[in-house]
Amino acid sequence: MASVAGSSTLMASISCRKPNQASNFNAVSLAIKGNSFPSLKSCSAPSRFRVSCAAKPETVDKVCSIVRKQLALPEDSAVTGDSKFASLGADSLDTVEIVMGLEEEFGISVEEESAQTIATVQDAADLIEKLISKE
Amino acid sequence: MLPYFCKLGLKMKIHCFNQKMFCTSALSPLQLPSRMETHLWYVLPNEVKTQSLLSQYVDLLSPLEKDYLDIHSCVSPRSLVFRKNAHGKPEVIWEQSDDWHPPPLHFNLSHTSSLIACGVIVGSPIGIDVEEKQRTLKSNILSFAKRYFSCEEVEVLSAISDPEVQRHEFIKLWTLKEAYVKALGTGFSGAPFNTFTIRFGDANPNPEDSAIVIVPLEKPTNLTTNWQFAQVELAGSHYAAICRQNDGLPGGVGASMKVIVRKTIPLVEEHCVPSIVPVDD
């Protein structure tokens, strides 16, 4: 996991970005004021950052299973770290229920400010591990 | 595919297409909402059946908008440009010119898998939210409410003994809270739901009789309270909540919102439907 200070996490996310994906840069919003951090893209990154950026596969799997259950998706449906909640058919109420399910499963508390930054399964898993590591 | 169109403000484009300021249309032009009115449009995506109609909708989009889909004097719908505010709320960017001053038109979208709605208003920010009446939660309603709603709202829900009525009131309350944070433009994260109570004026929350008010729970607070609400049923299947500012309206703060509801198949037809206030089953 990236080092604890928030600004380091942000810098790690910029470094993880593939060099030739300049057009995606806008997707990583440098909202320093803390208004919103739209999804940090999951990193196929230089390996020195890989461990820092991504949550453990087991965490991602647990999140996928909670998401499948909330959205009543069939077992064989494609849900991965990259899956966006909105694309899976989740609306705001679903997303909030998923967050509540994650809180119960992992014994964490997710502030509403953070909940809105979660756009993909990977975002959720990363946030979970960050919150667990703080406790 | 259609929900993505609407997320790009297609319905907004269609609405402007039908307003008096635009020339060519198969449908007769409409007046913009007066300052006292709120227009609520909705589409049932199941009714948009033909590929040619979808192609006409796609045709209205800019190249950038088409990409996103993997997919003057007179303002053409095509020329409308949208952007998102700092919190992701879509808004129109109007071209400014010396001889045309655009109206302060605001809109907000909401959709479920079976209905897309767009609220349009002049002179005030607006937030709307729609939800299927038959929507169920995977969690227990009171557990959810205890986690996310205010204590007063949990008490109101707990006092409802019939589970179906409780579920309906929960959904209506959810849409009201969503409409408010969308009107504020900050969304859920800027105004967590447990930092304010939605209170009905009477003990009996009958929307026809009583004003719905916002009660911020933190002091000091960034939350403003000069907002008015309306609740409408759409297509017999959805609850809709609308939130707009109530400053300077005739009838004062307690006046109820004048909502004009229209059902539409964009570019094909539209008609007014009676504005139905949801009542308990």
Q: pLDDT tens digit string along A40-91? A: 444 444 444 444 557 889 999 999 999 999 999 988 889 999 999 988 988 8
Determine, yes or no, domain membership for B95: yes
A91 catalytic residue (yes or no) = yes
The confidence score (pLDDT) of residue B254 equals 60
The confidence score (pLDDT) of residue A27 equals 37
Determine, yes or no, domain membership for B281: no
pLDDT tens string B177-233: 999 999 999 877 788 999 999 998 764 455 454 588 899 999 888 899 999 999 999
Determine, yes or no, domain membership for B199: yes
Determine, yes or no, domain membership for B135: yes
d(CA A119, CA B127): 21
Q: State both tokens at B44.
A: 């049932």
Which of A33, A92, A108, A111 to substitute to test the interface with B, most B CBs within 10 Å?
A92
pLDDT tens string B2-51: 343 344 455 555 554 444 333 334 566 677 788 888 899 999 988 887 88
Nearest residue of chain A to residue B182 (CA atoms): A92
pLDDT band at B104 (very low <50, low <70, confident <90, very high): confident
Nearest residue of chain B to residue A35 (CA atoms): B87
Q: State both tokens at B279.
A: 């009542």
The confidence score (pLDDT) of residue B190 equals 82
Helices (H) and strands (E) in chain A, counts: 6, 0
Domain holding B116, by residue range, is 2-273
Determine, yes or no, domain membership for B280: no
pLDDT tens string B42-88: 999 888 878 888 878 877 777 766 655 543 334 566 777 888 887 88
The confidence score (pLDDT) of residue B189 equals 78
pLDDT band at A118 (very low <50, low <70, confident <90, very high): confident
Query: What is the count of structural domains for chain B?
Result: 1
The confidence score (pLDDT) of residue A20 equals 42
% of chain A beyond a pLDDT of 90 = 35
Q: Are B42 and B31 in contact (CB under 8 A)?
A: no
d(CA B190, CA B196): 12
Determine, yes or no, domain membership for B65: yes
B90–chain A Cβ distance below 8 A for any pair: no
CATH code of the domain covering residue B100: 3.90.470.20
Determine, yes or no, domain membership for B247: yes
Asked if A101's CB is within 8 angstroms of B188's CB, the reply is: no
Kindly list the distances between the CA atom of residue B3 and the CA atoms of A64, B117, B128, B257, in Å, as whole numbers in the listed order.
24, 10, 16, 27
Nearest residue of chain A to residue B135 (CA atoms): A93
Catalytic residue from among A61, A82, A91, A123: A91
DSSP secondary structure string, B180-239? HHHHHTSHHHHS-GGGEEEEESSSS--TTTS-EEEEE-SSS------EEEEEEEETTTEE
Q: Are B122 and B104 in contact (CB under 8 A)?
A: yes
Least confident of B71-85, B138-152, B253-267: B71-85
Of A92, A100, A114, the CB nearest to B139: A100
The confidence score (pLDDT) of residue B142 equals 96
Of B113, B131, B137, the CB nearest to A97: B137
Determine, yes or no, domain membership for B50: yes
Which of A32, A39, A67, A91 to substitute to test the interface with B, most B CBs within 10 Å?
A91
Say which residues have a Cβ less than 8 Å from residue B98's Cβ, sequence separation at least 6. Answer: none
